[in-house]
């Protein structure tokens, strides 16, 4: 288990990229960008933490898209060491989980490195181009199911859109470390 970084650098800006989507098209940051911002989620197919929350990610990403927020998931892991994260397995994972958003392959790990992603899942919320949220998807613990779910990522975007303010208490995401190439 690994925690993403707690410190939010609001001067950190989006960095352009172009990555292969599971639709076999190259997708750029500009293709993802929407009027109210962008969410980039670093995920993978094999991580038990991602598997546990994938239906909530899909649901929350649908809600964010309805708020005119662009969303994408990026798979950064070393697929030689973790073949269950291969591009072909990414296609299967996206189809099985009904992704309505790009699922991008960061083959050379340059995007994860540039964004300083540390774990899967790791969520980055940008207002226009400035980072304002880096934290968890929600308040539920691993394999917890209850009706008192607080959708942290959605709430952070709603607060930014409604009040132009940043959520003060951002709680790190918990997950598996990114599997860096040797």
The residues spanned by each domain of the chain are 2-177
Give 42-84 as a DSSP string: E--SS-HHHHHHHHHHHHHHHHHHHTT-EEEEEE-S-TTT-GG
The pLDDT of residue 10: 53
Name the superfamily (CATH) of residues 2-177: Glutaredoxin (3.40.30.10)
Furthest C-alpha separation in the chain:
45
The pLDDT of residue 167: 87
Selection from 14-18, 24-28, 142-146, 169-173 with the highest mean pLDDT? 24-28
Name the pTM for this structure: 0.93
> How does residue 1 score in pLDDT terms, banded at 50, 70 and 90?
low
The pLDDT of residue 146: 78
**Residue 8 in this model has a pLDDT that exceeds 80:** no
Cα separation, 163 vs 166, in Å, equals 9
More confident residue, 180 or 168: 180
Of the candidates 67, 72, 71, which has an alpha carbon nearest to the alpha carbon of residue 36?
67
Cα separation, 26 vs 147, in Å, equals 39
**Residue 2 in this model has a pLDDT that exceeds 80:** no
């Amino acid at each position: 288990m690994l925690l993403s970084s707690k410190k939010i650098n609001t001067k950190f800006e989006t960095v352009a990229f172009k990555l292969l989507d599971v639709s076999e098209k190259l997708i750029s940051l500009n293709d993802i960008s929407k009027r109210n911002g962008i969410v980039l989620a670093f995920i993978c197919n094999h991580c038990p933490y991602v598997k546990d929350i994938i239906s909530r990610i899909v649901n929350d990403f649908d809600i964010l898209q309805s708020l005119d927020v662009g969303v994408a998931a990026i798979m950064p892991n070393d697929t030689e060491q973790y073949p269950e994260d291969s591009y072909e397995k990414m296609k299967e994972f996206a189809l099985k989980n009904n992704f309505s958003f790009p699922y991008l392959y960061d083959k050379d790990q340059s995007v994860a490195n540039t964004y300083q992603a540390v774990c899967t899942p790791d969520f980055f919320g940008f207002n226009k181009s400035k980072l304002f949220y880096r934290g968890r998807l929600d308040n539920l613990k691993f394999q917890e199911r209850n009706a008192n779910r607080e959708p942290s990522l959605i709430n952070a975007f709603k607060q930014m859109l409604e009040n132009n303010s940043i959520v003060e208490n951002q709680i790190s995401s918990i997950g598996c470390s990114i599997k860096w190439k040797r």
